[in-house]
Amino acid sequence: METIKEMSIDVKYIATLTGHSGCVYAMDKGMSEHTVFTGGSDRFIALWNLETQQAEKFSASLPAPIYTICHIPEKNILLAGTTTGSIHILDLEKKEEIKILQHHQAPVFDIKYSLKTNCFYTAGGDGNLAVCSFDTLSLIKMKKLSHEKVRSIDFNYTTSEIAVALGDCNILVFDLHTLDHKKDFIAHELAANVVRYSPDGKFLLTGGRDAHLNIWQVGNYELVKSIPAHNWAIYDIVFNPDATLFATASRDKTIKIWDAKTYQLLKRITKENFEAHTHSVNKLIWSTYHNYLVSAGDDRMVMVREVNTI
């Protein structure tokens, strides 16, 4: 019988980035390895430098609170989805807004893009998944998925699939290129909040309002493991750059770091044992820069930690 060696990790607090005057809901990688974009209820988008631990000379003000942002470096544009359903497209070179899309009638919870399809995808609180063209920056297709919210989108390029998390507890899986329906299954007892494929494309990780982390086998999408991971809703799941670890963020104010092979809990980051968030943790990014794990939350803070295996 194979013996699995337990992994040990070291988590080092680096900095707290302050400047937002409201909850931080949105975050994405910036224009270089060591920068990140953030946005939130204060309607501002900021760009942070993880090297200097300061804000860069960039900011954008939108007319409504921001729930999601998506940086597309290949196009040098930034997309921001708001509580009113609008999607603002910013040209980062010209530093100006070039278009506003208003095809959702409720908040936009997630935006993802795919160079393989030359499209970006938006998830709405109106139950719609929208597909937009990179070339025209306009709507191509709108797909009604539920009477509840569409919360999260992720791609599996190994199987050419797109998975979507819904507020009605379901996960839907479509063909990435045709959007033909492939699979649907009830993933959580309460709303499904986040979908994240493992980098090797073999597993789908989902987090729900029921505080469970569920791991599904890609293909038949049978449940491999269900973990009561948090005390409150799970809002985000991210893998580290070499895919040996992943982290979960929750409304319970904690971040947890897991072994990506065994799903063993390795570290629990809370106010009791770390410099940590005092309110809900909404978003995570695991940067290639020094393996920094960056988190954003309702406490208006953006926190930076270095995570290394020992």
Q: Is 34 exposed, middle or buried (0-12, 13-18, 19+ CB in 10 A)?
A: middle
Three-state secondary structure string covering 227-283 = ECCCCCCEEEEEECCCCCEEEEEECCCCEEEEECCCCCEEEEECCCCCCCCCCCEEE
Please say whether the beta carbons of 303 and 48 come within 8 A: no
- Per-residue burial over 9-23, b if 16 or more Cβ lie within 10 Å, else e, is bebeebbebebbeeb
How much is the pLDDT for 158? 98
DSSP 83-136: TTS-EEEEETTTTEEEEEE---SS-EEEEEEETTTTEEEEEETTSEEEEEETTT
pLDDT of residue 59: 84
Low-confidence stretches of the chain (pLDDT < 70) are: 1-5
Structure confidence at residue 310 (pLDDT): 85
User: The pTM is what?
Assistant: 0.96
Query: Which pLDDT value is given to residue 274?
Result: 86
Where are the domains positioned within the chain? 9-309
Q: What is the Cα 4 distance to its own chain's centre?
A: 30
Confidence (pLDDT) at 6? 72
Give the pLDDT confidence of 171-185 residue by residue, as tens digits.
999 999 999 999 999
User: 245-266 burial by CB neighbour count: b if 16+ within 10 A, else e?
Assistant: bbbbbbbbbbbbbbbbeebeeb
CA distances from 75 to 30, 92, 125, 132, 203 (A): 13, 9, 27, 14, 30
CATH number corresponding to 9-309: 2.130.10.10
Q: What's the rounded Cα separation, in Å, for the pair 231 and 26?
A: 22
* Contact criterion met (CB below 8 Å) for 31 and 47: yes
